[in-house]
Chains A and B, each alone.
Chain A
Amino acid sequence: MREQLRLLKEKAENELKQCQLLDDLNEIRVKYMGKKGELTRILRGMGQLAAEERPVMGQLANEIRDSLESRLGQLTEKIKGKELERRLLAESIDITLPGIRPEMGRQHPLSLVIEEIEEIFMGMGFTIEEGPEIELDHYNFEALNIPKDHPARDMQDSFYLTPEVLLRTHTSPVQARTMEKTHPHVPVKIIVPGKVYRRDDDATHSPMFHQVEGLVIDHQIRFSDLKGILLSFARQMFGADQKIRLRPSFFPFTEPSAEVDISCVICKGAGCRTCGQTGWLEILGAGMVHPRVLEMGGYNPEEVTGLAFGMGVERVAMLKYGIDDLRMLFENDMRFLRQF
């Protein structure tokens, strides 16, 4: 019997060496250790042995069984590993195929810029006011200290609907409307984004364009505050290293008035074609609200002062995105819009 067991072990181990598949392993397990397996059969024959031999043979048979079991276990793991490897290899994909992209929308560059400006000023405590685009001459001009036949009206050639009603030429009438409805309360701290219209159509002028206006009225608003607000805006909009420069200018509704330049976004102030070699780009007009405008708005200029500023959105967008042709902004060409 001992000899029988030895042969069986040898045979089984040889067969295991040949195994490649999990099925083969199972077959061997059944062949030797199944209910009708060879080892099982031998063990059943134990009863015929002499009593003193039984424990010895039993131990031997168990050792063989354990060894086979453990060998089977090892091989099972090994073959499973190989099979998984094979399957994963077969499942490989060409990861360079293009992705399945949900379609992407685009926001118009002007609305992007307006939104950005709004957010910068909201961060500084400004609320957003709006007003009609079709406006009374009174709010568009007269309440802003631009009487009829004032030469300053030449600065803004207008589209008229009736002698008293026009397409607003700037967002400033909303200043007048806001003062009228808010006075005598302060602070007023608003920006006014919107469409404006002037009777001009050439390479650098569009009959419709966009402005953002700003107005602050409070006790003790100073020209120096105007500088601070605009510097903060310029840095958030164009970069932390931005500088601004104020040059004296004239607007009927502000005094003192200023044209405001930012350091050129292209050459950083060194001088280039965009800035005409000056290193500066004119970007907005600003000033202290004219006492007469405050008065017409219902405020006492001895008690409160104000600052105001206004910028062209197209200009900001063109600088920000390096657009060199104003018309691109209104042609709505997909090849252009796709880039935002």
Chain B
Amino acid sequence: MLVSWKWLNELVALQKTPEELAELMTMSGVAVEGITYPEIELKNLKVGLIAEITDHPQADKLVICQLDVGEGEKKVIVTGARNVREGQKVPVALPGAVLTGGKKIESAELRGILSEGMLCSANELGLDVDKIPAEQKDGIYLFPAEVAIGTDVVQVLKLDDLILELELTPNRADCLGMWNVAREVAALTGGEIHLPEINSSEEGGLCADLTKVEIANQELCSRYVARIIKDIKIAPSPLWLQQRLIAAGVRPINNVVDVTNYVMMEMGQPLHAFDYDLLQENRIVVRRAEEGEELVTLDGQLRKLNPEMLVIADAAKPVAIAGVMGGLETEVTEQTKTILLEAAAFNGPSIRRTSHALGLRSEASLRFEKTLEVEQVRLAADRTVQLLTQIGAGVAVEGCIDCYPLQQQQQQREKQAISLRIKRVNQILGTTISAFTMEMILKALQITFLEKNRDGWLLLPPSYRRDLESEIDLIEEIARLYDYERIPTTLPEGVTTQGMRTTEQKLRYQLRKRMVGQGLVEVINYSFINRAQLDFLGIPDGAPLRDTVVIKNPLSEEQGVMRTSLLPGLLDTVKRNINKHNKNLKFFELGKVYFAEGFPEQSKLPVEKWALGVVATGKREKSWAYGAEEYDFFYLKGVVENLLTGLGYTENEYTFAAVRDLPGLHPGRTASIQIKGKEVGVLGEVHPLVLEKYGIDQRITMVNLEVEKLATEKIMKKGLVVPITKFPAVARDLAIIVPEEVKTADVTALIKEQGNEWLKEVRLFDLYRGQQIKENSKSLAFSLTWQAPDKTLTDEEVNVLHQKIEAALQGKIGAGLRR
């Protein structure tokens, strides 16, 4: 809502600067988002009458104008403008004038003739050409005849006005009208308010003979007032009216349309004028649109209507979409002789639905969708007629039609009294505001005291404050006018509570810390992905990862479905970084993935699961002190092992099992991560074909862990500490040669199985393939640590055990011993 400072000052006596008022309003709930000041100080601009125009002897495109600017002697001004005629009144910049953009005007010779100034266009005066009447956009600005010669142009056009821009919350739709803004300002400042008097009409009269109104749907239209104005003379509006519309951001069109818009700006009540003669049977029916009906609206668009929408119709067809926009066919034009003026009250939610369905928002729908004050509908119609008559746009037909079917119920609803308990106000706010202060505030808001008791009051808010419906609304009013800043600062007084994370939250906290602790970088990607990314990963139809939740109205296909895996987002992130020449990357993301699992047919909501995704690619670059370290399968395997160990799992509890057939992953480099035999995640290299689709030319290894499958009890309580024995450990090495296909984990398992409880650790310290051993075989070198809790082991004891293991390795997997 744009509020003209000058207009506001006419409605309410103000003792404050615009800045002071803006601060006061902002701090009391009707925020002033900004103040627009006049661009520069314009001066020495006068209204001049073009007395005579003669050709310029030396230039075809220039003319010489004799201008009367009220200073006796005429001024000679040379202009190249094409729209100047004798008898016009125009803005004249006299020597010493300064125009928009700082342009200074002095006398100057133009092709041999001395020009004593310049005629100005709207643009040069600093008017926004998008807000002024279309015919004033080009050429010299033209004043209407009634403007006096010699007046200051700044005063006439109110070029020194400033505009307050209000940012209104949805509950304060009342402030979409200047009068209510003035009322709010008056309540805040105590200033006196001056609203124009309205000549009210009588119901019936001649008007009732000329037209009929039928409301077929009382739920969607609670009141419809029609008035008729004849002898319409379409013309531009008077300047003062144009200026106020321009200040409010509404473009002047013609006197009839301007007045309806003006009253909307004054009272917040949208109105519409129909060409009476173009209405079939000259009557109005308010009804739902019928299936298949169409209407070309004022903006020239053909609109398809449906029975969800309320329309204003004549005897035959819709002529307006109620509360949203009028029809082109019955628009007021130069030919219009008689108009039917509509002022109505519509159901807000219905207007909102219609406006959304049509994608059509107007100043009218913006106001109607908030459900306006029903009581002022008739007043607004009368005010419009009053203004139209006053500016000579037409002659009012006596009487009016006021179709108000549920008047009594409506008025009862609007007159709902609210009881307010004085104690309750201070309880809610934590204040000690006196009853007297509360009373002052409520009275400033024009709230009527119906009953007064010691403990409280029975109150009736003014009809324009439809947002005040219950006690809490009034408490808020008291709080905001009392000033939030004056409310004390306290802390709650109830019982002490313990702040903490749940077990699941602790687990996630730990996961994040342990990943960061291992040198990985956390990322956050969007929860939605492009469905095509699942194709890139080669996810087959029917696979769980295809069980996506689809967004009905996505911003784009890129964000069309909720992710079922963190991998697509992580790959995108890798790709973006590689494009920016960061090739060595290791990222993790802890976030949700979403699965339909029967939604929406069989379940109310989809399933959301927490997942930990990791990707690593490139390497740690070599330094002066150590060699390069690849961020590959075994790097991430180590990360996972550390993570699980950190969470409290022992090496015996988790295992990695080779899997060959997971979509999107390298068949020879993928493992299922299992805890006590149950899969909790996957570790693997991304399939080369997937990388090709992403346009990435370096290997990437990924991990996906299903967070819910990690036992939360682990982070609550690690296993008990194992006592440290004081007897020395004995280390023995064991080197064997096995066929290439033998899995290291199987060898380790066999060693452990053959050793007894004294075998504390089996560590692979060397892996060799090459010339010194047979082809298709590898050498594995282990370091075995033996230790007993109750004695020092002798060489003989260890030798016996060692030989048993060697025998088993030879016998069961055909291992050759290296010595």
Q: Which residues of A pack against B, CB within 8 Å?
A: 97-98, 100, 102-108, 110-111, 115, 118, 121-128, 130, 132-136, 147-152, 154-155, 159-162, 165, 167, 186-187, 189, 195, 197, 199, 201, 207-208, 216, 218-225, 227-229, 231-232, 245-250, 252, 255-258, 288, 290-291, 305, 329-335, 337-338
Contacts and interface: CB of A to CB of B under 8 A. Distances in A.
Given A124-B499, A221-B492, 11 more contacts: A105-B516, A106-B516, A111-B590, A122-B501, A128-B502, A152-B170, A223-B429, A223-B487, A224-B430, A229-B491, A248-B480
Interface in B508-523: 509, 512, 515-523
Contact of B573 (A105, A130, A332): A332
B524 A110 contact: yes
A128 B271 CA distance: 52
Contacts of B625: 97, 100
A186 B494 contact: yes
Contacts of A107: 512, 516, 522
Nearest to A130: B505
A175 B698 CA distance: 47
Nearest to A154: B170
A161 B497 contact: no
Nearest to A225: B492
Nearest to B424: A302
Nearest to A223: B429
Contacts of B591: 195
B600 interface: yes
B352 A149 contact: yes
Interface stretch (B8-16, B21-29, B203-211): B21-29
Contact of A250 (B172, B499, B552, B576): B172
B488 interface: yes
A317 to B, nearest CB: 11
Contacts of B476: 248, 255-257
Contacts of B102: none
A167 B551 contact: yes
B724 interface: no
B608 A337 contact: no
Contacts of B480: 248, 256
Nearest to A158: B553
Interface in B124-162: none
A126 B577 CA distance: 39
B368 to A, nearest CB: 11
B576 A333 contact: yes
Interface in B340-357: 348-350, 352-353
A127 B626 contact: no
B427 A220 contact: yes
B83 to A, nearest CB: 41
Nearest to A123: B499
Contacts of B518: 103, 105
26 contacts: A106-B516, A106-B521, A127-B500, A132-B608, A133-B608, A134-B605, A147-B349, A149-B352, A159-B551, A189-B497, A195-B527, A195-B592, A223-B487, A224-B429, A225-B430, A228-B491, A228-B492, A248-B480, A256-B429, A257-B476, A291-B470, A332-B577, A332-B587, A333-B577, A334-B521, A338-B521
Contacts of B587: 332
B431 A224 contact: yes
Contact of B27 (A115, A124, A149, A247): A247
A61 B556 CA distance: 108
B614 to A, nearest CB: 11
B525 A125 contact: no
Interface in B564-603: 573, 576-577, 580, 582, 585, 587, 590-592, 594, 599-600
Contacts of B169: 249-250
B171 interface: yes
A165 B427 CA distance: 38
Nearest to A307: B492
A132 B594 CA distance: 10
Interface string B539-566: 0000000000111111100010010000
Contact of B472 (A151, A222, A250, A290): A290
B576 A332 contact: yes
B735 interface: no
Given A224-B431, A256-B479, A148 B576 contact: no
A256 B505 CA distance: 33
A147 B470 CA distance: 17
B487 A224 contact: yes
Interface string B464-500: 0000001011011001100011011111111111111
B791 interface: no
B554 A149 contact: no
Nearest to A222: B430
A105 B490 contact: no
Contacts of A207: 526, 528, 555, 559
A98 B605 contact: no
A160 B552 contact: yes
A248 B525 contact: no
Given A208-B526, A223-B479, A257-B476, A187 B505 contact: no
A170 to B, nearest CB: 15
B370 interface: yes
A111 B512 contact: yes
B497 A187 contact: yes
A333 B581 CA distance: 11
Contacts of B551: 159-161, 167
Contacts of B517: 105
B624 interface: yes
Given A100-B626, A127-B500, A133-B527, A151 B494 contact: no
B21 to A, nearest CB: 15
Contact of A335 (B173, B496, B582): B582
B369 interface: yes
A100 B112 CA distance: 85
B604 interface: yes
A206 to B, nearest CB: 8
Nearest to B559: A207
Given A104-B519, A134-B606, A222 B28 contact: no
Contacts of B475: 255-256
B555 A150 contact: no
B700 to A, nearest CB: 15
B600 A227 contact: no
Interface in B733-791: none
B472 A111 contact: no
Nearest to B30: A248
A208 B554 CA distance: 12
B17 interface: no
Given A148-B349, A247-B31, A330 B499 contact: no
Contacts of B590: 111
Contact of B620 (A98, A103, A160): A103
B352 A151 contact: yes
